[in-house]
Amino acid sequence: MKTLFCILIIISIIGCNGMDKSAKKELTKEQKSIIESIVSFADSIGGKSRSSSTMLSRIAAIKANDVEFLNFYYFDMDKFYEDPTPENLLLSLYQPDDFAMLVVQEKARNSYALTTKKQKSNWVPNAMMHDFGEKILHVKSKIPNVENSDFRIFQFEALYFYTYTSKGERVYEDMRGNVFTPGMMCDRLLTVINAIKQAAEEGNILYL
């Protein structure tokens, strides 16, 4: 049972002013299935762990109407390194089949971001992420016509970035609010990758 609780990594609860209802799309059949799975998981073990019962009870209370799934991607470092160009950067982003990120709006509380992983045929909660929901909503609120902006979140090692189109131009942004052109983003990623590779050659690990 301890292994079940290990996947429930709470970084912290996120505070924000609520989700942008106008930008929330109707959930797909697969997304509704994911919600049903994590709710069932939390409900089934929530009463067996005093330390996790508060978080599990919140997950067990999730309703489909209160959830927004985010366009989450992983970054393929090796693929990008072969051709570190703006065009290949977008091609190096891929959506995992076994991982999802969503924002949950609670009636009596603020919103929080939740990640979930697929284990065999079931989806289980993974982490609540500190301040992530607030930052996401802040970034999205600045984007004109956000519904058609191709808004994405992507992860590279422990780093998270946003990318979207604004006024016909592709924009990148980090968690600190720094904005980059595609060329600048390529330069930054290439610098980090080179640092990772150099550390590996020296027998070290670069913690980002």
Judged against a pLDDT cut of 70, whether residue 20 lies above it is answered with no
Question: Read out DSSP for 114-145?
Answer: EEEEEETTEEEEEEE-TTHHHHHHHHHHTSTT
Q: Is 59 left (phi over 0), alpha (psi -120 to 50) or beta?
A: alpha
Judged against a pLDDT cut of 70, whether residue 19 lies above it is answered with no
Q: Choose between 70 and 52: higher pLDDT.
A: 70
Judged against a pLDDT cut of 90, whether residue 172 lies above it is answered with yes
Least confident of 39-48, 152-161, 182-191: 39-48
Which pLDDT does position 46 carry in this prediction?
A: 63
Which pLDDT does position 44 carry in this prediction?
A: 86
Judged against a pLDDT cut of 70, whether residue 189 lies above it is answered with yes
Q: Work out the average pLDDT over 157-175.
A: 93
Judged against a pLDDT cut of 80, whether residue 208 lies above it is answered with no
Q: How confident is the model at residue 13 (pLDDT cuts 50, 70, 90)?
A: very low
Judged against a pLDDT cut of 80, whether residue 158 lies above it is answered with yes
Question: Which phi and psi (to 5°) does residue 155 adopt?
Answer: -115, 135
| CA–CA distance, 41 with 59 (Å, rounded to integer) | 9
| CA–CA distance, 90 with 80 (Å, rounded to integer) | 9
Alpha-carbon 134 to chain mean position: 12
Q: How confident is the model at residue 18 (pLDDT cuts 50, 70, 90)?
A: very low
Q: Work out the average pLDDT over 7-25.
A: 44
Q: Could you report the per-residue pLDDT of 43-61, keeping only the tens digit for each?
A: 888 655 545 567 788 889 8
Which pLDDT does position 109 carry in this prediction?
A: 62
Q: Choose between 9 and 45: higher pLDDT.
A: 45
Judged against a pLDDT cut of 50, whether residue 17 lies above it is answered with no
Q: Could you report the per-residue pLDDT of 194-205, keeping only the tens digit for each?
A: 999 998 888 887
Q: Give the residue ranges of DSSP H helices in the chain.
A: 2-6, 29-45, 53-60, 77-82, 86-91, 132-141, 182-201
Q: Work out the average pLDDT over 182-192.
A: 97
